[in-house]
Copies of this chain bind each other. A is one copy, B any other.
Amino acid sequence: MYLSFDLGGTNIKAGIIDKMGNIIIKQSLPTAENKDVDEILQQFIEISKTLLAKAKLNQQEIQGVGVGLPGFIEADKGLVIKAPNLGWENIHIKQNLEGLLPYPVFLSNDANAAALGEMWKGAGQGCKDLLCLTLGTGVGGGVIIGGQIYNGRYGLAGEIGHFQVNPHEGRKCNCAKIGCLETESSASALIFYGECAVKKGEKTVLAEIMKKKKKLTGRDVTETALHGDKVALEIITNAAYYLGFALANIYTVVAPQKIIIGGGLAGAGDILFKPIIKWFNNFSFENIKGEEIIFPAKLGNDAGIVGLAKLIEQGVKNHAKNSCLD
């Protein structure tokens, strides 16, 4: 059994997962408001007690703990270099948590953990080389190579949200670059372009929604598009164009077996995926077919805790193998 903590700026998702990747029990609760490291570690301990009790498990049945969080990490050292959403810098999370719980601790970036989850039990089953994208407020990414998370230098691999798709005419991104995928194809991008269209007086149902609510959500744009609104549909199609372009070019570098797209926006379904695949094919070598490569994610919010369980399994096995070969 594995114990997973998927730590976000807003919520902690936790769960106990068995060796087959089944979720035995899970729980979600708000992250301590001050984001203090010690307080959050204390939350982890409380949750672990609760989950073990509810699942009627002994401590000995847990083989290890996985922690996923949004930030730059050094996985080997279990070090959080920087996690802006948590306000953390240089936190030795593995060392700290191993002092409090009787298990080995393994650390991952949250998007990478989700990618590993999709590989194990989701849309990437049977693959060992994967690229996963999460289209939410931002655009996150994870890279799986040889069945394992590939972190890259300082955990920077998979920061696909900051791939520049429109470097000359795009909007300025939070990262200070221009025209990143995140400024063109995230939920925030849909909201921005939706509100622009309304302000310009374009004929769209989005105008009525804005009149009522004063602002839009990403879901407003996708739902409106699903109901046939041309302006909303064009906004989605533009987002898909940049995704198709970016993924085709990323494919020349890493050529994964599958590219899996999840997150809130992926819920738009065909109106998003069809143009992504069309443009991916347009910008790829002619014998490469996006239909065989690009798929929607399957695990939703559970991808992180499931992936962390796999990470623990791999970590424990590696440790055993290395001891044996020494």
Which A residues form the contact surface with B (CB < 8 A)?
129, 141, 143, 145-146, 150-164, 167, 175-177, 245, 248-257, 283, 285-286, 288, 293, 321, 325
Contacts and interface: CB of A to CB of B under 8 A. Distances in A.
A226 to B, nearest CB: 30
Given A153-B256, A250-B253, 16 more contacts: A129-B152, A146-B150, A151-B255, A152-B256, A153-B255, A156-B255, A158-B253, A159-B253, A163-B253, A164-B249, A167-B245, A167-B283, A175-B285, A176-B286, A249-B249, A253-B254
A143 B286 CA distance: 22
Contacts of A160: 252-253
A144 to B, nearest CB: 11
Nearest to A131: B253
A232 B249 CA distance: 29
Contacts of A154: 255
Contacts of A129: 150, 152-153
A285 B150 CA distance: 19
A142 B256 CA distance: 15
A153 B175 CA distance: 31
Contacts of A141: 253
Contacts of A176: 285-286
A255 B285 CA distance: 24
A255 B152 contact: yes
Contacts of A248: 164
B254 A143 contact: yes
A38 to B, nearest CB: 27
18 contacts: A129-B150, A151-B255, A152-B254, A154-B255, A155-B255, A156-B251, A156-B252, A157-B253, A158-B253, A159-B255, A162-B285, A164-B249, A164-B283, A167-B283, A175-B285, A177-B285, A253-B253, A253-B254
Given A153-B256, A283-B177, A249 B159 contact: no
Contacts of A253: 141, 143, 157-160, 163, 250, 253-254
